[in-house]
A and B are shown apart, each in its own frame.
Chain A
Amino acid sequence: MEKLSFVGKSLPRKDALIKVTGRAAYADDREFAGMLYAAAVRSPRPRIKILSISDARARHTSGYVTLVTYRDIKGVNKWPVVMQDYPFLPEKEARFAGETVALVVAKTAAAAKAAARLVEIKFKELPFIDDPLKSLEKDSIKIYGKDNIISSFVVKKGAVDKAFNNAAYVVEGEFSTNYQVHAYLETQGAIAVPEPDGGVTVHSSTQCPFYVLDAVAAALGLPYHKVKILQTVTGGGFGGKEDVPALVASHAALCAAKTGRPVKLIYGRKEDFQSMSKRHPGWARVAYGADKNGRLIACRVKYVLDGGAYATLSPIVLWRGTVHAAGPYKIANVSIETYAAATNKVPCGAFRGFGQPQICFAQESLIDELAAKIGMDPVDFRMKNMLEPGDKTVTGQRINSSCGLKELVGVVRKRSGWDKKKAEGFRLKAESDKARGIGFSATYYGVGLGAKGRYLDRAGALVNIYKDSSVCVNVGNTEMGQGALTVLAQIAAETLNAPYESVRVEEVDSSKVPDSGPTVASRTTLMSGNAIIEAATPLRGRIFKTAFNLLTAKGADFSRPMVASKGAFSMGGKTVTFREVTAECWNLRQKMSEQGWYAAPRTTFKMENGQGDAYVIYSYSADAAEVEVDLKTGVTKVLKIWAAYDVGKIVNPRLAMGQAQGGILQGMSWALYENLVYKNGIMVNPNFTDYVIATTADKPEYDITFLEKPYAEGPYKAKGMGEVPLIGVAPAVANAIANACGARVRLVPLLPEKVWKEIRMMKN
């Protein structure tokens, strides 16, 4: 293979300079002449019938402009996301505490907030449900459809009951996981600017500008060509800026449409907690059966997600959880049944891992319990049963050659000193207050949207080479901190043989590129990367041909091959630069602008039985965690995490390492600390004082290895990176706690009191 100039190198981040100097303009940093400010009026109770909304008191606030309710919606009062059950503003009923009921517009942000507090909602309280398992009971009150089920899926294969009857070893357990709040440092926000022709330009902090486009066009009743979405520098997403920014932006746009002025809507942290999407709380009952040789033969899963009051992305999150629910193993007999249940709480949606971390915690914990029952080392047990190239997943999908799972497990086993440490574990000594232990997990992750999201799995790109040889690339996927602008610039530079410094990738402008789907599912490098390559390939042809002609004209010996490297072209002792070549292309009036398009390969999947190819390709991970448990308090400290990933070719190793470390800490923080509490349908701790996320003091040591199993369809053989590092952390930590002190906690977060209780129960 040709030696790569830019891909595979830790080139500097494109957006680092503006970020370290404070010059990066996030949504709240942008100002427009005559701009007004909006603030939301929120439902105070879990479920209400709205009788009236009055600004009689609010209107006396200095700077007050107007109240915006559903009556001001000129388009359709239905947010176009998946099930289309969520109104932009409710008309009769508000379904969770914190739901936006109306908006106040005022001349300053402070006035808008003050006035919003004075808007009076007259309401009648309705009975509500706050427990997803109760929601699914036959005699529960119905708050969503006829059965409170937002969505439900199955995977059915083989003869499960028979296999369990024949199994030599069976384990079963109930597991649950709590919410996770994205805690992106930049809260949600948007600015809508009315245009003279009746259109609107929206500046939005978002992962998914085209979801924002769909929503704003629907809310305002405008054709898409009169709506332009410009992504602002986005201060973190992690899935939390997948769907809900469309709602925030639509609210700003409704205010702008009513007042004819630019309107800024920036969320405070508390309302962001209360009303924006979350990782679903999950509940699962999982059973595994193995034969006498320690071979997995059966798996049964019932998995329930707490969807909240509206569907939003629950069906897709649930589907991803469903097809991955049995873990990365060969199992012939499988029954997986999953449900997203409605409750009168905040609607849950996308969060890094997307329905997998909850069920992965359950199944990877239970795999350890099964190995213990058999008397096998848990890593040996995984090795024996895990997917390898040629094997079939539980949905019947054949795993191709881009699968390095077994090697990953081997690497982590060796680097962590697993065999020695495992043998030393379970040190519950009376004389010591602290016990150390080590735990393991293995996971897989379907890259991209898969069969359930296949209609959205395409992406566009526009590549322009200017007369001065600088290159501007427009794509439809976003930078949210993960490094897309940098990685995509590397891919463009590589394909064009343009100097990396001369390539600039812009934040998304919905008017410049076609709908490229959401920036989720670890799909950006793959989808936008391939779209860029498609756009750049004809340009490359022209550039390389022109370079050859220039070199020949210079008298180069053309019996020697031309070498293109690092922005220069050389042949037979002569060299021309990318700048010289593109100047010549312009002189020759060659087309120096191209569009590209990439659509993911077709997947075949039957929803009735959950069989078929769920995703086009999988990334893999193995994790080991070493913990120290304080036996007197149950407090767990994670000392070190060893992880290995197969995410295909690594485009930028430094950025990939940052993704890995960040993903691990998010996973660890969810596993140990993050505990969002609801009481009677009201969120109790919507702030960083009472909802604790990991700080520098909690950071473990990281030991990260990448094994690059090439994916032929990927840009320069890359797969997807973003989500994999988070998924396996929680079970590895839980397994390490069990190894340290025998406490098997089946509840995330693994709070000290839960660990302590288990320790106490063992002592008694």
Chain B
Amino acid sequence: MNRINPNGFFSLSCFVNGQKIEREISSSRSLLEFIREDLGLKGTKEGCGEGECGACMVLLDGKTVNSCLMMAVQIDGRELVTIEGIKGKDGGLHPLQKTFMAEGAVQCGFCTPGLIVASEALLRRKPKATLDDIKLELTGNLCRCTGYEKVISAVDKARRSRK
């Protein structure tokens, strides 16, 4: 099915943070631009624009992707979760958000949304993730402030609280 309209725009249909979204977008739009500029979801950050830092990480069908490296048209029919969609069961703070705060895993905070998204993907996939699993999973998320210790312990504590 050709979904490019006469103006050269693509009719995109996807789920974002649980809501159905339909937009006409330029096929050259990156997923990060779509999230930040078209949807106005500013919690997803651009740290490098080339997939090295993880600040723009989001969940696509439950798996992490660097949104700066994908085109928006690639998420057609799929389910996107950004930091704004990471919530606890009661609609309040997610366990990871609580442990990141309690452990002191937040400093400048620019990498934090990406780290929480990556950690959520890990804990969904591996509810019994070990400290080594956490370390390995988060190698794609650069943080220049914390020295990672408190980040790792925050993820570990959130894992325990999920039991």
A contacts, CB < 8 Å to B: 10, 12-13, 15-26, 28-29, 182-187, 233-238, 268-269, 480-483, 654-655, 657-658, 660-666, 687-689, 693, 695-697, 699, 702
Using A185-B47, A235-B108, A696-B152 as known contacts, say yes or no to A29 and B42 having CB atoms under 8 A apart. Answer: yes
Identify the stretch in B2-10, B69-77, B98-106 within 8 Å (CB) of chain A at 4 or more residues. Answer: B98-106
- Docked-complex contact B42 and A25, CB < 8 angstroms: yes
Using A689-B52, A697-B135 as known contacts, say yes or no to A19 and B147 having CB atoms under 8 A apart. Answer: no
| In-complex Cβ contact of A183 among B41, B138, B144 (8 A) | B144
- Docked-complex contact B47 and A662, CB < 8 angstroms: no
Q: Which residues of A contact B146 (CB under 8 A)?
A: 658, 661-662
Please give me the 5 A-B residue pairs with the lowest Cβ-Cβ distance, nearest first: A22-B43, A481-B108, A19-B109, A235-B110, A661-B147
Q: Which residues of A contact B96 (CB under 8 A)?
A: 20
Q: Which residues of B contact A665 (CB under 8 A)?
A: 147-148
CB closest chain-B residue, reference A655: B104
- Docked-complex contact B82 and A22, CB < 8 angstroms: yes
B61 at the interface (CB under 8 A from A): no
Q: Which residues of A contact B42 (CB under 8 A)?
A: 22, 25, 28-29
CB-CB contacts of B129-162 with A at 8 A, as 1s and 0s? 0000011101111111111111110000000000
Smallest Cβ distance from B29 to chain A, in angstroms? 10
| In-complex Cβ contact of B53 among A22, A29, A483, A688 (8 A) | A688
- Docked-complex contact A186 and B48, CB < 8 angstroms: no
Alpha-carbon gap, A663 to B145, bound state (A): 8
- Docked-complex contact B116 and A20, CB < 8 angstroms: yes
Interface residues of B in 88-140 (CB under 8 A from A): 93, 96-97, 100-102, 104, 106-113, 116, 134-136, 138-140
Using A688-B52, A695-B142 as known contacts, say yes or no to A236 and B97 having CB atoms under 8 A apart. Answer: no
Alpha-carbon gap, A697 to B151, bound state (A): 13
Using A22-B83, A658-B145, A688-B142 as known contacts, say yes or no to A12 and B52 having CB atoms under 8 A apart. Answer: no
B62 at the interface (CB under 8 A from A): no
Using A19-B106, A186-B108 as known contacts, say yes or no to A699 and B147 having CB atoms under 8 A apart. Answer: yes
- Docked-complex contact B145 and A19, CB < 8 angstroms: no
Is chain B's binding surface mostly helix, strand, loop or mixed? loop
- Docked-complex contact A702 and B149, CB < 8 angstroms: yes
Is chain A's binding surface mostly helix, strand, loop or mixed? loop
CB closest chain-B residue, reference A110: B33
Using A184-B108, A186-B47 as known contacts, say yes or no to A697 and B139 having CB atoms under 8 A apart. Answer: yes
Q: Which residues of B contact A186 (CB under 8 A)?
A: 45, 47, 108, 110
- Docked-complex contact B112 and A20, CB < 8 angstroms: yes
CB closest chain-B residue, reference A20: B97
| In-complex Cβ contact of A21 among B44, B46, B83 (8 A) | B83
- Docked-complex contact B106 and A13, CB < 8 angstroms: yes
Alpha-carbon gap, A520 to B90, bound state (A): 42
- Docked-complex contact A702 and B109, CB < 8 angstroms: no
Using A185-B55, A662-B147, A687-B48 as known contacts, say yes or no to A19 and B104 having CB atoms under 8 A apart. Answer: no
Q: Which residues of A contact B116 (CB under 8 A)?
A: 20
B38 at the interface (CB under 8 A from A): no
- Docked-complex contact B104 and A687, CB < 8 angstroms: no
- Docked-complex contact A23 and B43, CB < 8 angstroms: yes
Q: Which residues of B contact A662 (CB under 8 A)?
A: 107, 144-147
Alpha-carbon gap, A182 to B110, bound state (A): 14
Alpha-carbon gap, A117 to B42, bound state (A): 27
- Docked-complex contact B148 and A699, CB < 8 angstroms: yes
Interface centre among B112, B149, B151 (most CB of A within 10 A): B149
- Docked-complex contact A20 and B47, CB < 8 angstroms: no
| In-complex Cβ contact of B144 among A28, A182, A655 (8 A) | A182
- Docked-complex contact B136 and A481, CB < 8 angstroms: no
Q: Which residues of B contact A696 (CB under 8 A)?
A: 134-136, 138-139, 141, 148, 151-152
Q: Which residues of A contact B136 (CB under 8 A)?
A: 696-697
- Docked-complex contact A688 and B50, CB < 8 angstroms: yes
B22 at the interface (CB under 8 A from A): no
Q: Which residues of A contact B48 (CB under 8 A)?
A: 269, 687-688
Alpha-carbon gap, A22 to B100, bound state (A): 13
Alpha-carbon gap, A185 to B114, bound state (A): 11
Interface centre among A12, A21, A185, A233 (most CB of B within 10 A): A185
B contacts, CB < 8 Å to A: 41-50, 52-53, 55, 82-84, 93, 96-97, 100-102, 104, 106-113, 116, 134-136, 138-152
Alpha-carbon gap, A19 to B105, bound state (A): 11
Alpha-carbon gap, A185 to B136, bound state (A): 20
Alpha-carbon gap, A689 to B55, bound state (A): 15
What are 28 A-to-B residue pairs whose CB atoms are below 8 Å?
A: A12-B101, A13-B101, A15-B109, A16-B100, A20-B97, A22-B43, A22-B83, A183-B142, A184-B108, A184-B144, A185-B110, A186-B47, A269-B48, A482-B107, A482-B145, A658-B150, A662-B107, A665-B148, A687-B48, A688-B53, A689-B52, A693-B142, A693-B144, A695-B138, A696-B139, A697-B135, A699-B149, A699-B152
- Docked-complex contact A19 and B50, CB < 8 angstroms: no
- Docked-complex contact B135 and A20, CB < 8 angstroms: no
Alpha-carbon gap, A210 to B130, bound state (A): 47
Alpha-carbon gap, A472 to B147, bound state (A): 31
Alpha-carbon gap, A601 to B36, bound state (A): 48
Alpha-carbon gap, A431 to B110, bound state (A): 47
Alpha-carbon gap, A697 to B146, bound state (A): 14
Q: Which residues of B contact A17 (CB under 8 A)?
A: 101
- Docked-complex contact A699 and B135, CB < 8 angstroms: yes
Alpha-carbon gap, A318 to B143, bound state (A): 28
Smallest Cβ distance from B95 to chain A, in angstroms? 11
CB closest chain-A residue, reference B85: A22
- Docked-complex contact B108 and A185, CB < 8 angstroms: yes
Interface centre among B47, B82, B110 (most CB of A within 10 A): B110
CB closest chain-A residue, reference B113: A22
Alpha-carbon gap, A668 to B94, bound state (A): 33
- Docked-complex contact B44 and A269, CB < 8 angstroms: no
Alpha-carbon gap, A19 to B150, bound state (A): 15
- Docked-complex contact B43 and A269, CB < 8 angstroms: no
Alpha-carbon gap, A289 to B106, bound state (A): 46
CB closest chain-B residue, reference A184: B144
CB closest chain-A residue, reference B132: A697
Alpha-carbon gap, A21 to B42, bound state (A): 11
Alpha-carbon gap, A702 to B147, bound state (A): 9
Question: With contacts A26-B45, A235-B109, A688-B50 known, what are 10 further pairs, Cβ within 8 A?
Answer: A13-B101, A13-B104, A22-B42, A269-B49, A658-B104, A660-B147, A666-B144, A695-B142, A697-B135, A702-B147
| In-complex Cβ contact of B101 among A20, A24, A28 (8 A) | A20
Q: Which residues of A contact B143 (CB under 8 A)?
A: 185
Q: Which residues of A contact B111 (CB under 8 A)?
A: 185
- Docked-complex contact A185 and B53, CB < 8 angstroms: yes
Smallest Cβ distance from B91 to chain A, in angstroms? 12
CB closest chain-B residue, reference A269: B48
- Docked-complex contact B49 and A268, CB < 8 angstroms: yes
Smallest Cβ distance from B11 to chain A, in angstroms? 21
Alpha-carbon gap, A237 to B110, bound state (A): 11
Q: Which residues of B contact A660 (CB under 8 A)?
A: 147
Alpha-carbon gap, A26 to B46, bound state (A): 11
- Docked-complex contact B142 and A481, CB < 8 angstroms: no
CB closest chain-B residue, reference A233: B109
- Docked-complex contact A20 and B147, CB < 8 angstroms: no
Q: Which residues of B contact A22 (CB under 8 A)?
A: 41-44, 82-84, 112-113
CB closest chain-A residue, reference B112: A19
- Docked-complex contact A658 and B107, CB < 8 angstroms: yes
CB closest chain-B residue, reference A183: B144
Q: Which residues of A contact B148 (CB under 8 A)?
A: 661, 665, 695-696, 699
Alpha-carbon gap, A699 to B149, bound state (A): 8
Smallest Cβ distance from A610 to chain B, in angstroms? 34
Interface centre among B41, B50, B109, B111 (most CB of A within 10 A): B109
CB closest chain-A residue, reference B96: A20
Q: Which residues of A contact B106 (CB under 8 A)?
A: 13, 15-16, 19-20
